[in-house]
Chain A
Amino acid sequence: MNTTKRITALLSLVIILSLAACASPATPPPEAAAPTQPETQPEATEASAPAEVVTISVMTNRVGTQAELLEQIARKYEAENPDIKVDFSAPGADYEKLMKIKMAANDMPDVFSTHGWAKIRYGEFLLDLKDQPWAAQLDSAIKPAVTDDTGKVYVLPMDQEKTGPAFNADVLKEYGVEVPLTWTDFMAGCETIKTKSDGKVACVHMGGADSWPVGQYYDFFSTALAISPTPNDEKALLEGTYDWTKYTVLSQNLLDLKTKGYLNADALTAKYTDSAVALAEGKAAFGFYGPFICEEALKTNPNFNCGVMPIPSLVEGDKPTFAGGELTTWGVWKDSKHTDAAIKFVNYFAQSENVKAVAESNKVPAGLAEIEVDAGYLTQYYTQYADLRTFTYFDRIYLPNGMWDVLCKNGQDVLAGGITPEQATDNIAKEYARLLASQ
């Protein structure tokens, strides 16, 4: 390259860099999900000096249609508040990673979702919202998950989970299997399905490659094992004195599912989306997921007949339960530079029609009391099992932060035949002690 070219290159570099540095990266590109236009022009602001435009950063772990809905509501909010701009972001699968790094650098978004970990993980970063108008309206089922003894309200819960295994209603009907309410019935039902379908239909489809479906199994049945029966081990768990040898039965049951041929053959390499497809196509009967998989499956097969059942009980005489907890939430960063705007944003979402919209998009109950949610095709199941108790997800209360991954990995190892259920319990107990100590 001769001198002229080199100088030109250098000059262009300098120009580009300065342009880039000066270029304001704050304008979001036009969104395809067209925000609803406000019907009336926003009120003219007072005659005083024009308000400074404040930009708040909002991040959520939700994806897909749920994220689009949240963003639509955010755009409506922007339209009604011309002095506030919303930088909305839905990173998807890497949300948690991003949040952890941001926490380490104390650089949180002004508003963010807490996906079940408002108190235990994000607690020290959240502003107390107990003085907000909707704080008194928290639904009693979710209230313990988002508040603590001092009365601090950590997040706004727009909806809450009411989860149990999902199933393909047509498959159950075809093989004449009733929704099982105990584990013994569940195994019996699986045997029926396996024999009658000649092994073609997997009783349970698990997307083990994604790791969390394995954890979901443990979470569901830990409650059934240790919390819902009477007497139970709740006190022991809260005090850290739980006898972990009791936990082996969960790993054993998981292994049994596999050895008896009730689990899909590729449980270790299939993903969550594969479970959705398998259920939709009638290749599987049950999935340890929740109502959310219904929507996924419907996209593959609009005629899919999705059902949700409560978690079968493990202990003799106990009743089945639902798992509950935070689903879609907004929290405010306590060190945010725009707490007023952020709080206003959260309050906007607390309005009834917005809460209703969010809850309906997930087909779950709302997080604020007295908001009627139309759960569509799941209504019959919610009605049928309305009397059953809901317990917050086991790992969010009784396990130190970080145990979820331990359960997932050890479950995978058990299924792979790498460790025995007893060894899994050993590992789990060891990690439990370590994580508890480091909290």
Chain B
Amino acid sequence: MSYLTMFIISIIHLIPFYILINLALKTRQDTGSKWMPPDYLYLKNFADVWTQSHLASALLNDLIITVCTVALVVFVGVLAAYPLARYPTRWNNAIYTLSISTLIVPALTVLVPLYKLVVDIHGVSTYWAMVLVLTTFFLPTVIFLYTGFIGTIPRELDEAALIDGCNRYEIFFRIIFPLLKPVTASVIIIIMLGVWNDYRFSLFLLQKRSVQTVPLVLSQFFSQFQNNLPLAAAGSLLSMIPMALIYLFLQKYFVSGLAEGAVKG
């Protein structure tokens, strides 16, 4: 019975991808039903989209930006989370609430002044400005998850280390930080996906073609090849592969990471 349910669930959740793959294998003249697979083998869409668009360089750009952002946001976030979790003074609580409420800010509210700021510091179409902006916007989530997790680490550990003569910083780097490994894996996955697929900031901050990332290239597919949907579909499938691979590779850490930390009582 359970196997049947699992099977049905899988089928339902695979439908969108079936349709996408179907579309990618068709020629643009083929306007037949979206359900029926083509009765010919047409792989040219994949080749075409690779050569006709900047998918290769977009993948590289996305990789660079994602790696840098994830590294930076984890570092800054975990640093920030420690005092907020351990020492809930009035001031710290205020900072915590402020950080979380930043999650709610709609991107458009800050878009124009933010863009102006980036222009003024000559950061448009640069990697570093993009990384800094994305780091800032993903910090709240990271802080949220880490504060939750640090809360589950017994304070006794801190006290013991203090008695041993460590100062506060040493406690953090030597004792607490190593214990954060599990939830770090989960945080990395969550942030990684968010950064890789970011569109709303990339659109305005990455204007030169040479630095554009995958979501921008995809958007151009869809406006440029509007009438060549099979090509756009092929492009979409290709662009999914990196993240899918990374996720498959890391997924066992993902659930266990969350289990050991953020969602424990």
Interface residues of A, Cβ cutoff 8 Å to B: 1-3, 6, 9-10, 12-13, 16-17, 20-21, 23, 25-29, 32, 57, 59, 63-64, 67, 87-94, 97-98, 101-102, 104-107, 272-273, 276-277, 281, 296, 299-301
Contacts and interface: CB of A to CB of B under 8 A. Distances in A.
Contact of B204 (A16, A26, A67, A98): A98
Contact of A17 (B115, B128, B219): B128
Contacts of B125: 25
B126 interface: yes
Contacts of A87: 208-209
A12 B173 CA distance: 19
B93 interface: no
Nearest to B207: A89
Interface stretch (B81-89, B142-150, B177-185): B177-185
B209 A67 contact: no
Name the 9 nearest CB pairs between A and B, nearest first: A92-B223, A20-B127, A93-B223, A105-B116, A13-B71, A29-B57, A107-B119, A63-B224, A105-B119
Tier of interface size on chain B: 35 or more
Contacts of B184: 1
B71 A9 contact: yes
Contacts of B72: 13
B64 A20 contact: yes
Given A28-B210, A104-B115, 20 more contacts: A1-B180, A3-B174, A13-B75, A16-B64, A21-B127, A25-B208, A32-B53, A63-B224, A64-B225, A90-B220, A90-B224, A92-B224, A94-B223, A98-B203, A101-B111, A105-B119, A107-B115, A107-B119, A273-B226, A301-B29
A272 B226 contact: yes
A317 to B, nearest CB: 40
A300 B223 contact: no
A171 to B, nearest CB: 17
16 contacts: A3-B174, A9-B71, A17-B68, A20-B131, A26-B208, A29-B209, A63-B226, A87-B208, A93-B222, A94-B203, A101-B112, A104-B116, A107-B124, A272-B226, A276-B227, A296-B226
Interface in B226-241: 226-229
Contacts of B127: 17, 20-21, 23, 25
B107 interface: no
Main secondary structure of the interface of B (DSSP, over half): helix
Nearest to B117: A105
Contacts of B225: 64
B31 interface: yes
A10 B54 CA distance: 30
Contacts of A281: 31
B15 interface: no
A87 B226 CA distance: 24
Given A13-B71, A20-B64, A27-B210, A91 B220 contact: yes
Interface in B51-67: 51-54, 56-57, 64, 67
Main secondary structure of the interface of A (DSSP, over half): helix
Interface of B: 28-29, 31, 51-54, 56-57, 64, 67-68, 71-72, 75, 111-112, 115-116, 119, 124-128, 131, 173-174, 177-178, 180-181, 184, 203-204, 207-211, 216, 219-220, 222-229
A105 B210 contact: no
Contacts of B204: 98, 101
A224 B53 CA distance: 42
Contact of B28 (A57, A93, A300): A300
Contact of A25 (B203, B210, B216): B210
Contact of A89 (B67, B131, B208, B219): B208
Contact of B178 (A1, A57, A89): A1
A26 B210 contact: yes
Contacts of B228: 299
A424 B15 CA distance: 41
A89 B207 CA distance: 8
Contact of A21 (B31, B126, B181, B226): B126
A63 B223 contact: yes
Nearest to A63: B224
Given A87-B208, A98-B204, A67 B224 contact: yes
A20 B227 CA distance: 36
A152 to B, nearest CB: 27
A25 B124 CA distance: 11
Contacts of A67: 224
B75 A10 contact: yes
Given A1-B177, A1-B184, A21 B128 contact: yes
Contacts of B208: 25-26, 57, 87, 89
A91 B119 CA distance: 19
A195 B22 CA distance: 37
B227 A89 contact: no
Contacts of A20: 64, 68, 127-128, 131
Contacts of A59: 207
Contact of B220 (A1, A3, A32, A92): A92
Of residues B57, B119, B207, B225, which shows the largest number of chain A Cβ atoms within 10 Å of its Cβ? Answer: B207
Of residues A20, A59, A281, which shows the largest number of chain B Cβ atoms within 10 Å of its Cβ? Answer: A20
